[in-house]
Homo-oligomer: A and B are copies of this chain.
């Protein structure tokens, strides 16, 4: 979607902006981002790897950065997670803390309204054997973006990540489920628990847990997001209910148009930007179904 800052909108007089909401991976979105930059467009991209693209491909990230600077446009990656819950909100909360020794994020999400594409990549609906084979083959990989958020937070708080770890476990359906978009048989995968950790000085410094299930109450899961920052002033944030994935990303994208247009040229992260606020524009905000 190209949103034009014409005279009738609140973005009047500003540069245009290209919104890319397609896949999760830097290499898949890079050609579209380049095309946008070369047409003089600012770019806002929801691909999770774009939240900190230096991690997936440092050379490509630097290339995008240089290209954006040459064309005097800004490029930002991000949505809810990464882009808000796991980085911008963590950093904002951490502004009341100091000497941060550990960060923890826990998110529980209802998967029943997710698209078939997303359900496939987290393994929902597969047998345990198919799930294991898909994990080995890389076709089932769970949530993308924790390592990127962890880099954004660590850089801002002065921590150096040595490596990140990932554990991904399928949760079996204890009975048959019928969803709008899928049928889950008893014994098949009905959800997952994903654990990510960023290691600093040999110890977990930022740990994230993502629980996704097609019927969270059936396994006793509460739909909420929780951030715990340990340090000289501990900060504990609980979001109830948790931020809804689809509606949340729609809000983040619409609310980020203005700050991307206003930011300095080049590749930026949410650590560089003020809070996302409405453009007060005529951009129509609708909830996507995926």
Contacts and interface: CB of A to CB of B under 8 A. Distances in A.
A271 B278 contact: no
A251 B280 contact: no
Interface stretch (A112-120, A188-196, A240-248): A240-248
Contacts of A244: 233
A136 B233 CA distance: 37
Interface in A255-288: 255-256, 271-278, 280, 285
Nearest to A156: B277
A278 B100 CA distance: 10
Contact of A233 (B88, B233, B248, B256): B248
Interface in A82-98: 84-85, 88-89, 91-98
A158 B280 CA distance: 6
A255 B98 contact: yes
Stoichiometry, as copies per complex, reads 2
A133 interface: no
Interface string A72-113: 000000001000110011011111111100000000000000
Interface string A175-204: 000000000000000000000000000000
A233 B94 CA distance: 24
A99 B94 CA distance: 27
A243 B239 contact: no
B96 A278 contact: no
Most buried by B among A97, A248, A277, A280: A277
A285 B98 contact: yes
A238 interface: yes
Contacts of A232: 247, 251, 285
Interface string A123-142: 00000000000000000000
Contacts of A255: 94-95, 98
A244 to B, nearest CB: 6
A141 B244 CA distance: 41
Contacts of A89: 92-93
Given A158-B280, A233-B248, A236-B241, A275 B92 contact: yes
A202 to B, nearest CB: 20
Contacts of A80: 96
Interface of A: 80, 84-85, 88-89, 91-99, 156-158, 232-233, 235-241, 243-244, 247-248, 250-252, 254-256, 271-278, 280, 285
